[in-house]
């Protein structure tokens, strides 16, 4: 039986998401690179294909419910089953709780929390039916109560804390039996457009724990929050 797994990565066209796509392709998975702009996705996918990786680009804006539904329908029509979902796309509004505008609150919630939630609702039922699935929610230490929430980016930290709540509640909703796991991870401070030039970590270093969680063995953890492959506090 062909056990090649297929992984869908949101915001896969650049930054940590691209490093996750590259790492999954290197590990032999078929990658669905979800990009809100198809041309940017195709540009990024070319280098993976050049190294022999298998990658399909899908237009997906995680803000738009219809865009998520249309992506799922196209994959279903082509018999592409998603075994691994990496909710990576994110935005980082720069404002504290009093400064944050309604638009910033809506952006943070819809991209960082609502999008991953709708994608989990779209793909986890099929994973349960097939008996295998891995969901990785790319969160942040900024959303950790235990590490101290990032009060300078209040909408961001609240949306990532809510993403962690999704991880916990989704894990609790999984029935016993199928090998389906859901975890949150924080990549650390990573040199990307979001993280800025001063960040000490490369996108590859930031992607490592997501790649580990995306390919966990059956006895691996579920319902946890990790950085550098170690548990961190919620
Ligand atoms: N960098 C860090 O230090 C750091 C630290 C902790 C956590 N994180 C988390 O890591 C993840 C990736 O961050 P990054 O540093 O790689 O950020 P980035 O370089 O800014 O990339 C963000 C990605 O998300 C995509 N995106 C934004 N809005 C979207 C939407 N509505 N629909 C679909 N895609 C959308 C972007 O697409 P476009 O190219 O089309 O804009 C881009 O591919 C995020 O969830 C972030 O919160 C990052």
pLDDT score of 124: 98
What is the per-residue pLDDT for 84? 99
From residue 87, alpha-carbon distances to 144, 152, 219 in Å are 17, 24, 22
Instruction: Write out the two tokens for 157.
Output: 């930290």
Mean pLDDT by 10 residues, the chain (234 residues): 88 98 98 98 97 98 98 98 98 97 98 98 98 98 97 97 98 97 98 97 98 98 98 98
C-alpha 62 chain-centroid distance? 11
The residue among 120, 7, 21, 111 whose CA lies nearest residue 62 is 111
Atom of ligand 1 nearest to the CA of 112: 45
Question: Ligand 1 atom 36: the closest Cα is on which residue?
Answer: 11
24's CB contacts (< 8 A; 6+ apart) are: 7, 9, 31, 84, 211, 214, 215
Active site residue 132: no
Q: How far is the CA of 76 from the centre of ligand 1 (A)?
A: 26
Given the residues 156, 163, 171, 183, select the one marked as catalytic: 156
Q: How far apart are CA 196 and CA 148, in angstroms?
A: 21
Q: Give the pocket of ligand 1 (CB within 6 Å).
A: 10-11, 13-17, 36-37, 40, 60-63, 88-91, 111, 138, 140, 186-187, 189-190, 192-195, 199
* pLDDT 10s digits, 78-137: 999 999 999 999 999 999 999 999 999 999 999 999 999 999 999 999 999 999 999 999
> Which atom of ligand 1 is least distant from the CA of 12?
43
The pairing of beta strand 230-231 with beta strand 225-227: antiparallel
List the helix and strand counts (H, then E) for the chain.
7, 8
Predicted local distance difference test score (pLDDT) of residue 2:
60
What SS3 class is residue 21? helix
d(CA 71, CA 60): 7
Domains observed in the chain:
6-231 (3.40.50.720)
* The model's pTM: 0.98
């Amino acid at each position: 039986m062909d056990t090649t797994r297929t992984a869908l990565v949101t915001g896969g066209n650049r930054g940590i998401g691209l490093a996750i796509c590259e790492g999954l392709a290197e590990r032999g998975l078929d990658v669905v690179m979800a990009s809100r702009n198809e041309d940017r996705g195709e540009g990024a996918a070319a280098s993976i294909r050049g190294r022999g990786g298998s990658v399909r680009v899908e237009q997906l804006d995680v803000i738009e419910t219809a865009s998520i539904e249309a992506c799922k329908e196209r994959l279903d029509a082509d018999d592409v089953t998603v075994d691994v979902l990496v909710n990576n796309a994110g935005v980082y509004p720069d404002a504290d709780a009093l400064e944050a505008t309604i638009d910033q609150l809506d952006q943070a919630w819809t991209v960082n929390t609502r999008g991953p939630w709708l994608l989990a609702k779209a793909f986890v039922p099929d994973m349960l039916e097939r008996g295998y699935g891995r969901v990785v929610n790319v969160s942040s230490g900024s959303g950790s109560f235990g590490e101290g929430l990032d009060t300078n980016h209040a909408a961001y930290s609240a949306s990532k804390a809510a993403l962690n709540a999704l991880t916990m509640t989704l894990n609790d909703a999984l029935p016993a039996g199928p090998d389906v796991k859901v975890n949150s991870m924080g990549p650390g401070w990573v040199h990307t457009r979001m993280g800025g030039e001063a960040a000490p970590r490369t996108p590859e270093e930031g992607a490592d724990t997501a790649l580990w969680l995306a390919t966990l063995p059956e006895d691996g953890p579920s319902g946890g929050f990790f950085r550098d492959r170690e548990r961190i506090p919620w």
